Amino acid sequence: MNWQKLSNISQTYGGLAVPFSAAALLGAVVSIAHQAKQTRIMHEEAMRSAHRELILRAIDDQALMQCWDPPNGTATFEDTRQAVFCNLIFTKWLTDFRLGRMTYEASRVTLEVHFRGEVARRHWRENREHWRRFAVADGDRRVVRFMSLTDEVYEEALESGPPVAASAYFSPPNP
């Protein structure tokens, strides 16, 4: 046997193994990072689902609704239900934006349509400070950006004129 020749072949394969090993390691790192992101998304979805379930249980039950935060000022049960439901809708959009499932542009369009309505405008007028404080406390720049966008679209809606009254949403049934 030619030991020198075998040694040269072995060194050649050893040199080729290093880039392949590095590529495999990089693939493992990317895979772990992707799994961590997916786990975070699943955790967030589970938390949002649990929150939604609590809200849906309370929204038709005044005694359970009193377990949540008290309304800002005086409000009827119906006003509170609407505010809580708007909050649920808004939280969904915020989550979608945070997770990259809704773009900035799509969020703008969604909020523009939303703020055409009287209930949506009342909800934001009464809750915007809470949401702004939450955004700052959360520290997520995407949350802060979404709040800034929401404020901007809300102000534009106010400048565009009066909202569509809640009583004007639906036409009376045909006789």
**Predicted pLDDT of residue 143:** 94
Name the pTM for this structure.
Answer: 0.73
Q: Is the pLDDT of residue 174 over 80?
A: no
**Predicted pLDDT of residue 155:** 97
The Cβ of residue 146 has, within 10 Å, a number of other Cβ atoms equal to 24
What is the token pair recorded at 84? 């809580």
Residue 3 vs residue 124, higher pLDDT: 124
| Dihedral over alpha carbons 154, 160, 163, 164 (to 10 degrees) | -130
Q: Which of 118, 117, 107 is nearest to 145 (CA)?
A: 107
**Predicted pLDDT of residue 131:** 93
Q: Which amino acid is at 101?
A: R
Phi and psi angles of residue 164, each rounded to the nearest 5 degrees, phi first: -75, 125
Write down the domain spans for the chain.
19-164
Mutual orientation of helices 118-138 and 77-98 as an angle, nearest 10°? 50
> If you average pLDDT over residues 123-131, what whole number do you get?
93
What is the token pair recorded at 26? 């990089």
